[in-house]
A and B are shown apart, each in its own frame.
Chain A
Amino acid sequence: MRNIWTIAKREYLHYFSTPIAYVVAFLLLLTVGILFVLNIVYYANNAMFGGGAPSPNLVTGPFAFLLLLSVPALTMRLISDENRMGTLELLLTAPVTDWELVVGKWLGAFLFLLTILALTLIYPLLLNIMVKPGIDFMLALSAYLGVILVAAALLGLGTGISALFSNPIASFFMTLAVFVVLWWLIGAPASVLSTGTELFSYLDMSNHFYDSFNQGVIKLTDLVYYLSLTLLGLFIGATAIEVRRWQ
C-alpha cells in the first residue's frame, strides 16, 4: 500500500510539471465552462415560455465525453516512458511488486483527474443559486459518481495499454482506438442484430453512464461494469510488465 502511495504521489506531482496536463485541464475546464454558459443562456431564454430548468448533468455529460480524448493524453507516457528511458529497470529492481507499480501509476493519474473534476463543482453550485428551488443534489451526486467511475475505467485501460508500448504516441493512439470501440462501435451491432443485442449494449461504455448515472440512477450492474474495466486495464498493465521481464 505504501509503495502504491509513493508512486502515485510522484505521478500526481509530475503532472503539474508537464504542459500536457495543463492542456488537458484547460481543454476540459474551458469546454465545460463554455457549454455551461451557453446552456444557461438557452434555458434563460426558454424559461419565459415555460421551459425546464437546467440540471447538473449538463456539466458531467460533456466532461465524460471529453475524457475519451484527455485520458489517453494523461496515460500515454505513464509506463511507456519508463520503458523508453530505462527507468523501468529502476522500479523493477526496487522492492515493489508489478501490481503496486501499475496501481500506483493509475492512482496518480486518477487523483489528477479528480482534481480537475473538483474544479467543475463550481458549476452545480452556481446552478444551485440560479435555479429555484435549487438543484437536485441526488442527481448531482449520481452524475459525479458516474464521471468518477468512467474516469477510473478509462484511466485503468489507458495505464494498461501504456505498459504495452515504449512510445507514448503509439500508446496514445492505441488507447484512443480502444476507447472509440468501447464508447461507440461495440454498441452499434445492438441496433442492427436481432439476437445478442443485450450483450452488445451491455458492453457499450457510454450506455452505463448516460442512461443511468447521468440520469440520477445508480445501478449495481453499471458499477460492476466500470470497476471490472478498471481491473481489466490494471491487469493488462501488470501482465505486460511481467511478460517484459521474461523476454
Chain B
Amino acid sequence: MIRVQGLTKDYGSRRAIDGLTFDVEQGEIIGFLGPNGAGKTTTMRILTAYMPPTEGQAIVAGYDVVEDSLEVRRRVGYLPETVPLYPDMTVFDYLKFMADLRHLPNAEERVDEVVEMVGLGERINSYIGTLSKGMRQRVGLAQALLHRPQVLILDEPTIGLDPAQVVEVRNLIREIGKERTVMLSTHILSEAQQLCDRVLIINKGKIVAKDTPANLQLRLSGGERMLVRVRGEAEEAAQVLHKVKGVQAIQAFPDGRIEFNFPPGQDVRAEVARALVQNGYDLLELRPLQMSLEEIFLELTRSEEQA
C-alpha cells in the first residue's frame, strides 16, 4: 500500500531524511517513532504529496507521489501535526467544504457520519475557534476520514487529548486499521506498542529499526533477561549462578537483586531456583525481565549517536 525506496529530502544543506526504504501492507497499522526532528513529519509530508522528495521514490495506494500526486491525494487521508482548521467556520461548514473539495456524493450525510464517528455530534454547529484542543484534534481526524481513504496518515493523532479521548481515538484507529492502511507517528511508545502491527524507528533521518514491537523487544535484549531476588548478599549468591549452565552477563545489586541473561528458548528458571535454594539462599522473586519499548528506543537512538 505504501512503498518507499531511498527517500531523501534536503532542506537547503540540511538533510532531513536520508535514504528511507520501507513497505507498508494493506490493513497494517504502522507506528513511526523517533525523537523530534528525526524526519517523521517530512516523511509524512512526502507521502501525502505535500512536498516532493529530493531523491528516491514513494508509491502510495499504487500511485507515485510526484507523478500522480492528485491520484495519491484522492486516496490518502492526512492529519497534519498542526491540525489545519479554519477557526471562523463551524465544524459542519468546515467538513462540508472538505467533502466538496473531494467531490463526495451525499456530502452532508457523510459529514454527519464522520462527526458521529469521532464523537463530535453535539458540537457540529459550533465554531471551530471555540473548541478545545482535543475537539479540534477530532475535527482534524474527521476531515482525514471523510473520503474513506485507503491510506490514513496521522501525525501525532492523540496529542493534546485527555486520557478518555486517547482511548477513544486509539479504538477508532484500531477499527479503521482493520481494513485500511494506517501510518501514525507518535512520541508515546506505549501507544505504538498497543496499536501498531509494526514499528519503524527513525533517528536523524535514517531508519534504525523496523519490526513488530514484540520482535524488537526480543532482538534488543539479546536473548532473554531474568531477575531473581534473594535475601542476603547478592554478590555471594551470584557466584552460585555462575555454575548454572546458560547463565551469562550476571549483574548483582546491593539490595539483593541479580539480573542475568540466558539464551532464548532455554528455560533455566528451575535450575536457577534449585541452585540458590540448595546453597541456602532464600529465593524471594524470580521473573523474566522485558525491555520496554522506551528502553529500546533510547538504546537505539543513543547507539546511533555514538556511531
- Residues of chain A whose beta carbon lies under 8 Å from any beta carbon of chain B: 2-3, 6-7, 10, 14, 17-18, 85-97, 245-247
CB-CB under 8 A from A85, the residues of chain B are 84, 86
CB-CB under 8 A from B49, the residues of chain A are 92-93
Q: Is the CB of A89 within 8 A of B50?
A: yes
Q: Is B287's beta carbon under 8 Å from chain A?
A: no
Q: Is the CB of B84 within 8 A of A95?
A: no
18 pairs, CB–CB < 8 Å, chain A vs chain B? A2-B100, A6-B100, A7-B101, A14-B88, A85-B84, A86-B80, A86-B84, A89-B50, A89-B84, A91-B101, A93-B48, A93-B73, A93-B80, A94-B102, A95-B101, A95-B102, A96-B101, A247-B51
Q: Is B85's beta carbon under 8 Å from chain A?
A: yes
- CB within 8 Å of A: which B38-84 residues: 45, 48-52, 70, 73-74, 76, 78, 80, 82, 84
Q: Is the CB of A6 within 8 A of B50?
A: no
- Residues of chain B whose beta carbon lies under 8 Å from any beta carbon of chain A: 11, 45, 48-52, 70, 73-74, 76, 78, 80, 82, 84-86, 88-89, 97-98, 100-103, 143
CB-CB under 8 A from B70, the residues of chain A are 95, 97
Given contacts A95-B101, A245-B50, A245-B52, A90 and B143 within 8 Å (CB-CB): yes
Report how far A85 CA is from B85 CA in the complex, Å.
8
For the complex with contacts A6-B100, A93-B50, 19 further pairs of A-B residues with Cβ separation under 8 Å are A2-B100, A2-B103, A3-B101, A6-B101, A7-B101, A17-B88, A85-B84, A85-B86, A89-B50, A89-B84, A90-B80, A91-B101, A92-B49, A92-B50, A93-B49, A93-B76, A97-B70, A245-B52, A246-B52
How many A-B residue pairs lie within 8 Å, measured between CB atoms? 58
Report how far A17 CA is from B86 CA in the complex, Å.
12
CB-CB under 8 A from A10, the residues of chain B are 89, 97
Min distance, Cβ A2 to any Cβ of chain B, angstroms: 7
For chain A, what secondary structure do more than half of its interface residues adopt (helix, strand, loop), or is it mixed?
Answer: helix
Report how far A10 CA is from B98 CA in the complex, Å.
11
Closest 6 CB pairs of A and B: A90-B84, A87-B84, A6-B100, A86-B82, A95-B73, A93-B48
For A17, the closest partner residue in chain B by CB is B88
Q: Is the CB of A87 within 8 A of B85?
A: yes
CB-CB under 8 A from B73, the residues of chain A are 93-95
Report how far A88 CA is from B48 CA in the complex, Å.
13
Min distance, Cβ B114 to any Cβ of chain A, angstroms: 15
Min distance, Cβ A51 to any Cβ of chain B, angstroms: 50
Report how far A90 CA is from B83 CA in the complex, Å.
9
CB-CB under 8 A from A96, the residues of chain B are 101
Min distance, Cβ B275 to any Cβ of chain A, angstroms: 62
Contact of A95 among B74, B82, B85, B86 (CB under 8 A): B74
Given contacts A86-B80, A90-B80, A93-B73, A6 and B86 within 8 Å (CB-CB): no
Report how far A97 CA is from B69 CA in the complex, Å.
9
Q: Is the CB of A94 within 8 A of B52?
A: no
